[in-house]
Amino acid sequence: MKVRQWQLLPTVPADYVSASSLSPLLAQLLYNREIKASEVDLFLSGDDSFAGNPFSLPDIEPAVSRIYQALRSGEKIAIYGDFDADGITATAILVEALSWLGATAIPYLPDRCRDGHGLSLPALEELHGQEVNLVITVDCGSSDYEEVEQARKMGMDMIITDHHLLEGTLPRAIAVVNPKRKDSHYPFPELAGVGVAFKLAQALLHGHNREADLHEFLDLVALGTVTDMVPLVGENRYLVKEGIKVLNHTQRTGIQELVEVSRLRMEHIGEEQISWTLGPRINAASRTGSAYASYELLVSQSPVEARSLAKGLEDKNSERQKATAEALRKAKEGLAGRTHLPLLIEGSEEYSLGVIGLVAGRLAEEFNRPSIVLSLGPELCRGSCRSIEGFSILSALEECRDLLITFGGHHMAAGFTLARQNLAKFEERIMGVAEEKMKLLKLTAGLTVDAEVTLSTFDSDTLNSIWRLSPFGKKNPVPVFLSRGLEVLGTRELGNQGKHLELSVQQRGAIWKAIAFNSRLSRAEIPPCIDAVYNLDRDRWNGQEVLRLNVLDIAPSRSLPQVQEKPRV
């Protein structure tokens, strides 16, 4: 565990506290998340006041009209998804919603290696061969101009539903339903792909007295939204908050079996369990094989089939973990002596397409640098990118457009394909872009602290008020606290080779258990009195909820790290 720069957020103004009628600590946490005093009650409620009217989405009416035309004429409809949890859950929702309306709807989930991200011309030709007349995309398609045009020439109509950034002009589809369109009037642009699919299903079922049935889709919406790491504010907060309630009592056999093989407990599933356990297992299918295994699990009604599929995903996830660890080790070796550069880029013929995004994410997190990891083929190279705050990796790829075959994604995560003969030019240019754009960025890894508190602060009322901020995620992070002068009563090593460290700490009579995951310190290196930056964690032991400190960083109390007040932007 390495001591990093601790940045304490500015103290909440007194008028904010009085206007919000909250405890000073809860007011501080909401102020840190830029929630206006007038919006506090709405944020904490997280109710359907956040829900937007689906008919305010761009192109929703021509999309609904074309789908109903297909229903009346008995056309075969394909739902073209993506191979991640967002795309898989979105595909399941639309296939099920259309089946309720009597449609012949078939799922198509692209193969990560054969098709890549977005629409694939061979895949569209395959669907055309199956006499599909209408293709509805979910979580993809906004920048697939050529593929949409080819589909038109084959006689297939396209409806795009997506949430990725658009590059400018729109594909020539029947409809492009994307809340990020510049001409969109939808009040919340940050829906995940599954959120957009859910809103389309809502529009389709409007007037059929089945809108209440949409409630059973919210478990899938929560799974896809949390795993895709979109901001958990606004409508996403409402969808995930309600979705977690549905998830904890889900009637989906496949999810029940996945929870069991993952050694979780029904009725105790939250955003953390989705992020760290369920989501990775759903994603594991496409990283080491076909995404259809996850899709079939989500829609299965057979306990025997669901149990087999869930066990298969458990095995695939273990395989994915091993492959990621090995690729990360090799990437670090390849980057030796270059981790000081403004952008990290590393490629190998040995890197699997299924793990390069995970490896890029780990590198970006550890070294606080935008990171690109490439799977090198004899003719083509595929890259996955992860970035840091203040640097748009998508904009950087835009400046290399002439060297790329395809690219797309978000400011913080993106992917691309390029000819291997252009790799050297690409590396030189994107490194130049990074050097120019990142001149003013501080690249020293830091920890943002919400508030400095004593451990006695956390009585039951305070803890309950903190949990009211959940579900936590992007733009609503888990609160981070700083406590000084903690007496270490004991330590012990946990996990394989003692990679985790458990501590018992005391401050003014308050005794807490604390755990430092993947600690870089041994028991002998823990000083007798520490300052700690941590968040609160809830675990279950012998059927009861146990609270502990999840330690993010520590320092000896007698040699305090400089704690700077972080300016409010």
pLDDT band at 543 (very low <50, low <70, confident <90, very high): low
pLDDT at residue 559 above 70? no
Spacing of C-alpha 242 from chain mean position: 18
The count of C-alpha atoms lying within 13 angstroms of the C-alpha of 518, restricted to the half-sphere facing its C-beta, is 3
542 in any annotated domain: yes
* pLDDT digit string, tens, across residues 57-116: 999 999 999 999 999 999 999 999 999 999 999 999 999 999 999 999 999 999 888 888
* pLDDT digit string, tens, across residues 338-347: 999 999 999 9
Number of neighbouring beta carbons within 10 Å of residue 129:
9
Would you state the pLDDT for residue 541? 62
Would you state the pLDDT for residue 301? 94
Tokens of 24: 């000073």
**Number of domains forming the structure of the chain:** 3
pLDDT at residue 46 above 60? yes
325 in any annotated domain: no
Would you state the pLDDT for residue 1? 43
Q: What is the mean pLDDT of the chain?
A: 91
- State whether 164 and 201 are in the same domain: yes
235 in any annotated domain: no
pLDDT band at 385 (very low <50, low <70, confident <90, very high): very high
361 in any annotated domain: yes
- State whether 72 and 197 are in the same domain: yes
* pLDDT digit string, tens, across residues 108-149: 999 888 888 889 999 999 999 999 999 999 999 998 999 999
Q: What is the CATH number of the domain that holds 430?
A: 3.10.310.30
- State whether 60 and 161 are in the same domain: yes
- State whether 408 and 472 are in the same domain: no
Compare 460 and 124 and report the one with higher pLDDT. 124
Instruction: Please give, one letter per residue, the 3-state secondary structure of 207-269.
Output: CCCCHHHHHHHHHHHHHHHHHCCCECCHHHHHHHHHHHHHHCCCCCHHHHHHHHHCCCCCCCC
546 in any annotated domain: yes
The structure tokens 């989405």 sit at 57
- State whether 182 and 114 are in the same domain: yes
- State whether 428 and 451 are in the same domain: no
The gap between the terminal CA atoms of the chain, to the nearest Å, is 29
Tokens of 482: 């700083």
- State whether 170 and 144 are in the same domain: yes
- State whether 91 and 145 are in the same domain: yes
* pLDDT digit string, tens, across residues 389-401: 889 999 999 999 9
- State whether 22 and 74 are in the same domain: no
Over residues 425-450, the mean pLDDT reads 87
375 in any annotated domain: yes
Would you state the pLDDT for residue 558? 65
Q: Whole domain around residue 393: which residue ranges?
A: 335-437
Which residue, 184, 211, 238, sits at the end of a domain?
Answer: 211
Nearest Cα neighbor of 446 from 541, 344, 565 is: 565
Distant-in-sequence, close-in-space partners of 318: CB < 8 Å, separation ≥ 6 = none
- State whether 193 and 104 are in the same domain: yes
Spell out a b/e string for 234-258, using b for 16 or more CB atoms within 10 Å of the CB, else e.
Answer: bbbbbbbbbbbebbbebebbbbebb
531 in any annotated domain: yes
Number of neighbouring beta carbons within 10 Å of residue 488:
18
Spacing of C-alpha 109 from chain mean position: 19
Q: How many residues does the chain have?
A: 569
* pLDDT digit string, tens, across residues 160-173: 999 998 877 899 99
E strand map for 318-376: 344-348, 371-376
Would you state the pLDDT for residue 250? 96
Which residue, 419, 437, 455, sits at the end of a domain?
Answer: 437
Cα separation, 445 vs 533, in Å, equals: 14
Distant-in-sequence, close-in-space partners of 66: CB < 8 Å, separation ≥ 6 = 134, 157, 159, 174, 175
Tokens of 213: 């049935």
Would you state the pLDDT for residue 550? 94
Residue 476: phi and psi, rounded to 5, are -140, 65
pLDDT band at 566 (very low <50, low <70, confident <90, very high): low
Amino acid at 530: I
Q: What is the CATH number of the domain that holds 478?
A: 2.40.50.460
Which residue, 437, 455, 476, sits at the end of a domain?
Answer: 437
234 in any annotated domain: no
* pLDDT digit string, tens, across residues 198-241: 999 999 998 787 777 899 999 999 999 999 999 999 999 999 99
Would you state the pLDDT for residue 567? 60
- State whether 75 and 187 are in the same domain: yes
**In 74-133, which residue ranges form alpha helices assigned H by DSSP?**
85-100, 121-129
pLDDT at residue 539 above 90? no
Q: What is the CATH number of the domain that holds 111?
A: 3.90.1640.30
Most confident segment among 117-121, 293-297, 513-517: 293-297
Tokens of 342: 């403004």
- State whether 107 and 202 are in the same domain: yes
Would you state the pLDDT for residue 143? 87
Sheet with 344-348: list strands edge to edge: 344-348, 371-376, 380-386, 413-419, 406-409
Instruction: Name the least confident of 79-88, 351-360, 433-442.
Output: 433-442
